[in-house]
Amino acid sequence: MNNNNFDVKLNDWWNTGGIQIRDFLSDLSGDKSFHEKMHISDKTNVYNYAQSHEVPINDEAKCDLLKEICGELAEKILASKHGVSTNDLFDEDGSFYEKFQDEFNRLYDQIEEQMMHLEEYNKQLKNKPLLKISTIYTTGAFLFPVKVINDNGNPEWLWAVSQFEDDSYLDGEICDPVESAETIEQLLKTDDDDDN
């Protein structure tokens, strides 16, 4: 599978089968957009763990993957809650500062418990998908359903683009949007980007 197809599949999963963990991480961090800020490697690890019942991996590798997920996400949530970088959580020896250790342990345990539920949930989801079709095509783009929190704090569903297939325009000029990015500014490529 090429990278673009995997990215589409990954985005589809995070907006269907991954909603449970996505919402949990947002609640745990106190940041409704936490999942949007997650690095692609973290999203991929969570996806791979949730799908491990379909592509069996040995118990040791699965345990290592779970530890990596819980540790990485607990660190990032802890840093986000305290407004520091992940490096600021550790002393010169690479150990957590005492003021962070207990909170990290609690976050780790909560994430681990949720990941265990996620694996079971995804097994059930395989037999009973949220939608018969998770991606649809409209002229020039593939769309997938997304659950968001609206301005009133209520959940609602809308369609989001997972892949562009045709020209896009900004103020009458052709532009080059990307399907996802770490910042809102990176969603739209400009001529300046190509010069760099």
Q: What is the pTM of this model?
A: 0.59
The residues, any chain, with a CB within 8 Å of residue 164's CB and separated by 6 or more, are 140, 141, 177, 179
Cα(143)–Cα(154) distance, rounded to whole angstroms? Answer: 22
In this prediction, residue 129 carries a pLDDT of 47
The two beta strands, 155-164 and 136-138, are: unpaired
Whether 39 and 81 have beta carbons less than 8 Å apart is answered as: no
Instruction: Report pLDDT digits (tens) over 138-178.
Output: 777 777 777 667 777 677 777 777 777 778 888 888 888 88
Instruction: Report pLDDT digits (tens) over 88-124.
Output: 999 999 999 999 999 999 999 999 988 887 766 666 6
